[in-house]
Every structure is written in structure tokens, then in C-alpha cells.
Amino acid sequence: MWNPWHGCHKISPGCRHCYVYREDAAFGTTVPASEVRKTASFGLPLRRDRKKNWKYPAGTEFALCFTSDFLIEEADQWRDEIWKIIRERRDCRFFFFTKRIGRLPELLPGDWGEGYDNVAVGCSVENQEMADLRLPVFLSLPVKHRIIVVAPMIGPVSLRPFLDDRVVSEVSVGGESGKYGRPLDFEWVIDIHRQCLAAGVPFCFHQTGSHLIKDGRMYDIPREYQHSQARKAGLNTIDHTKIK
Ligand code: SF4
């Protein structure tokens, strides 16, 4: 994980039980989660060891901004430095996901072109309304590795109009974690899995969330089993490591 800044503000229904707020509250952080601030990890990929070698070797995969949103407005002043670091570490891969995909065009670096080879972008959609709003924008943008992240999934979603295997690298689905997580109906997951199979787009069920409905029964899944239980469903057509 590489979190050059921390904190976020809520923008859509999927943010209601945001884990950034929850974890900050659990750890008694004095700065409110809604206050976006630079962290001590800002230059993480450029760290070197005593022998002046990269601390993070070639091939490292950085999951970027998992305690914020990479495209959040308050970080506009810092993002150019991050693009610079990403260019300097072309030997590594970077991945971020965002609920603010509409901001991406104005925030791309000048040499972005059709996208950096080493950057994957995930567009998060939690329900049909957000899918219909964000995905047409997402698909119109120049991105080399494009991931549709249906999480936290809080209702059934049809991705059919957006599943073009030439431009979508994968679809990843997950439920909502935390005590108040909204239930995920396994039928919704199966439905998206079917949609992906039909379109030839790789699919991953990355986590169940806290409350899973299966065969009409609600299961409470402890945090430590949410990823393994999702894997056990046997739906994945891609070995996914990016979304935790
Ligand atoms: S955009 Fe993501 S990080 Fe920001 S409040 Fe919403 S869920 Fe939390």
C-alpha cells in the first residue's frame, strides 16, 4: 500500500460506512478523517536502502491511496509529484481506484497519451445509478488497464452496456465490511459473474463484506474470512491481488 495522503470526504451512497472513517475512529485519530493530509509515506517508492538500491525492487505493485481517493480535490496540489514518482519508477506497477472518475481528464499529466503502461485505474460503482453515471465517462478515457470495481455492492447492477473485453481488463466485486455493512446478496454477485462470462471479461469476487445473503439466509462473516470466503465461492476467472 502507498498512501501519500490520508482522509477523504463522502460523495455517494457507497461512502456511508467508509472504512477510512471507521478505522480512524477505532484508532482514536485526533485529525478528522474528512481532513485530507499528506503522510510520511509521500515518497515511498523512491526510498533506498543503505546500499542505495531501491527499497522496493522492480516489479513491486503499489496499491495507491487506499485511505483516501487518488483524485480527491484537496490533493490537487500534490498529485503532480505523484505522477513524477510513477514515471521515475516505470519498473513498478501502480493501481488506484476512485469514485471521482469524472475528474481524471483534467488531472492527467501532459505525457499521459493513451495511458501509462504501469498504471491501472479502477472506477468504483456501488449501485446501478453510479454505474450509469460513472462508467460511460470511464470508458471514454485513455487508460491502458481499466478495472470496474463494483464495491461496496449495495444493489443489483447490470454492467452489460459497459462490458467490452477490448477496453475493460477486469471486473471486481465486493461487499461492505464493518458492523453496519449493508448486506450483499450472493445472487447479485452470480449475476455479474454471468455477465462477465458472456462478455469474456475477467471476473473477481474479492470479498464478501460483513453480511452475505445466500439462499435466503443472512451470514455474518468476520473480517478475517471475508476474502477467503469470497475466493471459496469459486467464481474467479482472474487471480486477483490488487484489491484488498
Ligand atoms: S470516496 Fe472512498 S475513501 Fe472517500 S469517503 Fe468515499 S468510500 Fe471513503
Looking at residue 242, its pLDDT comes to 54
**Quick check: CB of 65 below 6 Å from ligand 1?**
no
List pLDDT tens digits, range 54-113: 999 999 999 999 999 999 999 999 999 999 999 999 999 999 999 999 999 999 999 999
- How far is CA 206 from each of CA 181, 232, 243, rounded to the nearest angstrom? 16, 10, 7
Looking at residue 240, its pLDDT comes to 59
On average, the pLDDT of the chain sits at: 95
List pLDDT tens digits, range 199-223: 999 999 999 999 999 999 999 999 9
Ligand 1 centre to CA of 69 (Å) is 6
State how far the Cα of 225 lies from the Cα of 232, in Å rounded to an integer. Answer: 10
Residue among 10, 17, 176 whose CB has most ligand 1 atoms within 8 A, to mutate: 10
Looking at residue 227, its pLDDT comes to 96
Looking at residue 239, its pLDDT comes to 73
Looking at residue 46, its pLDDT comes to 98
Domain locations in the chain?
A: 1-136, 151-244
**Quick check: CB of 18 below 6 Å from ligand 1?**
yes
**Quick check: CB of 69 below 6 Å from ligand 1?**
yes
pTM over the 0.85 mark: yes
State how far the Cα of 95 lies from the Cα of 120, in Å rounded to an integer. Answer: 5
State how far the Cα of 102 lies from the Cα of 95, in Å rounded to an integer. Answer: 17
List pLDDT tens digits, range 160-188: 999 999 999 999 999 999 999 999 999 99
- Whose Cα sits closest to atom 7 in ligand 1? 15
- What is the atom index within ligand 1 of the atom nearest the CA of 12? 6
**Quick check: CB of 74 below 6 Å from ligand 1?**
no
